[in-house]
């Protein structure tokens, strides 16, 4: 059954690329009507990026786009034309939320600034997601997830001790921090409107919400005046705390010891009685001082065993451990994800049957039943003709003028 938690909420969605569409996907998956305005001539860059079905490129063949746009409807317009902008405003009259992640000034140039939108829908929730926000000394700087990882310091913090920055790619900015901050802000604004009748503009600077993931590092630098150092998978408080090689090709298990009692159990389990009895290793401070020695002992035990065996034996002894799973293992072997129906199969006219990720949480106890992503412009006539009431002659004229692109 399709989720109902957000049913009745309508988005005029102008987001594209990564973080913005991921934010509005959350609403679409939980039952909101998300109408995605896009262009076939200046397509969402994610539609143009792979991986493509069977390696054949096409606007409707990107797995990346598909995974970020489940449950949405697509309207393809020339948004730079006055007619296209008028159509968006027509829909906004019936919408609850307008969303975009363009740079500052882009919506103004489309005639869709907050001030213009409020004229047709005074209680609108208006979500804007520029990298540095809409004003301030750096607001004219533009970037994507990788840029945000760099300028926030996340890139600098991610890497091995003594080595170069490695970075987390786009994962935290585009798929965690910014979309979920945006979704939470929109939910709060909708609740505020329900209680007061007033709309709201949300200016979400993606740099700020990404920095929110770096709280301990920011505090450390503020207190000590020193830039935090890269530590790889190690911890400044616990040892051992790392991923350890196991038997097989690129197989690993994450292990962390949080208490002195856990260290005793681990040292005994791996057959290092001398280490277990060593008073210099009885405390976290002592183990941190000799972390290379401690990790080498653990590695000698793990590298001859299967990762699943390592995890099971350590967990049975009360020691936190988990297999570092590759994508195939997550899809095929993880019982928790399977039970929660995190992976769902959907059919699609061009992508055919493929696997998609559903939200890892519930709202009001509801599990999401995903709906497939749209073809570009697939719902243009349905939205303009059905929702907005344009007749066949008007639709034909809009196509002839190039306002409707598909």
Q: Which residues are catalytic?
A: 174
Would you give the end-to-end CA distance of the chain in angstroms? 31
Cα separation, 160 vs 234, in Å, equals 9
- DSSP class of residue 65 equals H
Strand partners, 11: 34, 97
DSSP 3-state assignment of 160? coil
Q: How far is CA 156 from the centre of its chain?
A: 20
Scanning the structure block, which residue is given the tokens 């009360």? 318
Q: Is the dihedral of CA 222, 223, 224, 230 positive or negative?
A: negative
Helices and strands in the chain: count of H runs, count of E runs: 20, 11
**Token output for 359:** 């939200």
**Token output for 324:** 């570092």
Cα separation, 329 vs 71, in Å, equals 26
Cα separation, 346 vs 60, in Å, equals 14
**Token output for 53:** 């079905």
Q: Is the dihedral of CA 331, 333, 336, 341 positive or negative?
A: positive
Strands 125-128 and 321-324: unpaired
Strands 252-256 and 321-324: antiparallel
| Run of H or E residues at 73 | strand 73-76
Cα separation, 35 vs 38, in Å, equals 10
Cα separation, 342 vs 365, in Å, equals 15
């Amino acid at each position: 059954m399709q989720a109902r938690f957000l049913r009745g909420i309508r988005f005029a969605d102008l987001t594209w690329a990564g973080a913005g569409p991921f934010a509005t996907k959350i609403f679409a998956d939980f039952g909101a009507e998300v109408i995605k305005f896009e262009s076939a001539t200046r397509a969402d860059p994610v539609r143009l990026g792979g991986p493509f079905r069977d390696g054949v490129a096409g606007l409707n063949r990107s797995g990346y786009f598909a995974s970020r746009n489940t449950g949405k409807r697509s309207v393809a317009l020339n948004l730079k034309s006055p007619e296209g902008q008028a159509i968006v405003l027509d829909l906004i009259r019936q919408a609850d939320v307008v969303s975009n992640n363009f740079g500052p000034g882009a919506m103004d140039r489309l005639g869709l600034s907050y001030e213009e939108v409020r004229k047709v829908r005074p209680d609108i929730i208006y979500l804007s997601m520029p990298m540095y926000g809409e004003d301030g000394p750096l607001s004219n700087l533009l970037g994507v997830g990788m840029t945000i990882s760099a300028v926030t310091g996340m890139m600098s913090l991610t890497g091995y001790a003594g080595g170069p920055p490695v970075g987390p790619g786009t994962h935290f900015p585009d798929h965690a921090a910014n979309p979920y901050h945006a979704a939470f802000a929109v939910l709060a604004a909708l609740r505020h409107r329900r209680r007061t009748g007033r709309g709201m503009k949300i200016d979400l600077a993606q740099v700020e919400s990404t920095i929110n993931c770096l709280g301990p590092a920011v505090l450390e630098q503020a207190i000590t005046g020193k830039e935090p150092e890269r530590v790889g998978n190690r911890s400044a408080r616990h040892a051992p705390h790392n991923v350890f090689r196991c038997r097989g090709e690129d197989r690993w298990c994450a292990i962390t010891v949080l208490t002195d009692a856990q260290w005793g159990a681990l040292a005994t389990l791996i057959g290092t009685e001398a280490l277990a009895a060593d008073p210099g290793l009885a405390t976290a401070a002592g183990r941190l001082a000799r972390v290379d020695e401690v990790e080498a002992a653990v590695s000698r035990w793990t590298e001859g065993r299967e990762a699943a065996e390592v995890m099971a034996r350590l967990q049975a002894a009360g020691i936190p451990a988990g297999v570092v799973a590759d994508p195939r293992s997550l899809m095929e072997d993880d019982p928790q994800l399977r039970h929660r129906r995190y992976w769902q199969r959907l059919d699609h006219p061009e992508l055919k049957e493929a696997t998609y990720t559903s939200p890892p949480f519930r709202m009001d106890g509801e599990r999401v039943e995903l709906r497939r992503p749209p073809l570009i412009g697939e719902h243009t006539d349905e939205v303009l003709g059905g929702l907005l009431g344009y007749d066949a002659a008007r639709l034909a004229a809009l196509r002839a003028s190039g306002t409707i692109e598909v």
